[in-house]
Amino acid sequence: MTTTDDRIGSAPEPDGPTSPIDYSQRIPNNVNLNENRRLQRALEGWQPKFLDWWKNLGPQLPTKDVYLRTAVAVGRDGWAHFEHVPMEEYRWGIFLAEGNPDRTVNFGKHKGEPAWQEVPGEYRADLMRLIVVQGDTEPASVEQQRILANTAPSIYDMRNLFQVNVEEGRHLWAMVYLLHAYFGREGREEAEQLLKRNSGDYDNPRILGAFNEETTDWLQFFMFTYFTDRDGKYQLGTLKESGFDPLARTCEFMLKEEAHHMFVGTTGVQRTVERTAEVMKEKGGPATFEDGVIPLDVIQKYLNFQFSVSMDLFGSEQSTNAGNYYTSGLKGRWQETRRKDDHTLLDDEREMNYVEDGQIKTKTVPMISALNLDLRDEYVADCENGVRRWNQALEDAGLEDRLYIPHEGFHRQVGVYAGHHVSPDGEVLDDATWESRVDEWIPSAEDRAKVAELMVPVYEYGKFASWIAEPPTGINGQPVEFDYVHLYEEALREEGLA
């Protein structure tokens, strides 16, 4: 195995726990960036471009400051500090989880070898591609969500949106650090491109389709943070297993931050369902938009849409690239070390669904070619946990209605179901039947317009829009009515709240 040597200097070798996060530096970090002046200067040269991107394509609503958390340590115990911070002064930085000098590659043909501290030359292009694709998703979601604060259902929810946004920005920094530190000129060029692609841009869109979809309202934001950020959790989980140690350690810490994003989605949808269920119980029948809430069937449509576009993010069920990444030690499986097999998979098989003659059939395929499907199965099982939680809210209200996860083939654009129409319950449909019924299953323009009408901003502390329930607790032990966001008086006057 050969290694590449065209990095900007050399990142510090791990020697046990990483150094403390240094906030005295222009770029906070725990990778001893000040010991590599050339790399430091390169990243400081990229920083103004990032800040320009944040100013132009980050959150649109101007704020004085926001109650945000900032990482102060990367260990398991107590890593976050909370305070009111002007968003433009948030300290984005580079944080890797604690290193283990004895770490080995846990899968593939290099299983048992020492984890790589430098990029293996023969895997350079593949590793850079994995990092670029992951990095491209981070600013994309910020761009998708930039106008949501204008219609925030509460100050509490606005704060959660901004926390997600700043951490997606930090995750971009995490990938840019790897590109600058380990991939030389090409890495620096790719880091520039991460700011030049924009979500939904006709000429220069983001790499993955789900990150070019418009986020039209807060229900879609909650569904995004539940379903699409959960895809991010599983993708990061596979990269956390990587034999390339800096990538593994980077993703391990990113997963710590990602948990809050999924909390926002889980509880946001649940509170939406709770409020709708409350009205349904009062009425003794279905709730409508006229009741000031989002009807349950429309919530199901949003669920169907975001689940299906998030399923596409896993790629084709059978993938030579995924198999090669695994065999090479670049990208493992979810919780790889807990798997009870030989971690090479050369003789393993599994079942896979596909469509033929208008029917869903099953065939046996090599496991090594079906790793995207293996990861997707883990994801779907996790998604079902949240839906059970939302259904508990309906049950607690004494209602028989239930939400559900649609069939894996529903509304798919990637993989074995692409080019076929499959209903939410798994029936293969012809074109005419699909077209006549699709508005029953995914949000129509009329549905989105009616949801948008409910998106009236509520900027008074402790107050909430009509369509969403109050959370049971606040952030970091603070009360729900805490002043999480300080807005400018002009913004409050525009809403009649000053």
- The DSSP result for 314-333, as a single string, is T--SS-HHHHHHHHHTSS--
- Asked whether the CA dihedral 123, 125, 129, 132 is positive or negative, the reply is positive
Q: Is 139 left (phi over 0), alpha (psi -120 to 50) or beta?
A: alpha
DSSP 3-state assignment of 80?
strand
Provide the pLDDT for residue 75. 78
Q: Give which of 186, 173, 175 is closest to 124, Cα–Cα.
A: 186
pTM: 0.93
Q: Is residue 2 in some structural domain?
A: no
Q: Is residue 1 in some structural domain?
A: no
Q: Could you tell me how many helices (H) and strands (E) the chain has, helices first?
A: 13, 7
Q: Look at the block and give the residue holding tokens 């102060």.
A: 72
Tell me if 198 sits within 8 A of 206, measured CB to CB: yes
Domain of 336, CATH number, reads 1.10.620.20
Q: Both tokens of residue 359?
A: 């029917």
Provide the pLDDT for residue 18. 44
Q: Is residue 158 in some structural domain?
A: yes
Q: Where do runs of H (alpha helix) occur along 183-285? A: 184-196, 218-223, 229-239, 245-283
Q: Both tokens of residue 111?
A: 């299983």
List C-alpha distances in Å: 365 to 86, 314, 362, 375: 53, 17, 10, 15
Tell me if 294 sits within 8 A of 454, measured CB to CB: yes
Rounded CA-CA distance 135/131 in Å is 6
Rounded CA-CA distance 152/249 in Å is 35
Rounded CA-CA distance 426/353 in Å is 11
- Domain carrying residue 239: 33-494
Q: Is residue 7 in some structural domain?
A: no
Q: Is residue 380 in some structural domain?
A: yes
Q: Is residue 71 in some structural domain?
A: yes
Q: What is the mean pLDDT of each run of 10 residues along the chain (498 residues)?
A: 47 45 93 94 96 95 96 80 95 93 97 97 96 95 95 98 97 97 96 95 90 92 96 96 97 92 96 98 96 98 97 96 97 96 96 96 97 97 95 96 98 97 98 97 97 96 98 96 91 58
Q: Look at the block and give the residue holding tokens 């320009």.
A: 52
Q: Is residue 218 in some structural domain?
A: yes
Q: Is residue 248 in some structural domain?
A: yes
Rounded CA-CA distance 234/95 in Å is 20
DSSP strand pairing (349-356 vs 428-429):
unpaired
Number of domains in the chain: 1
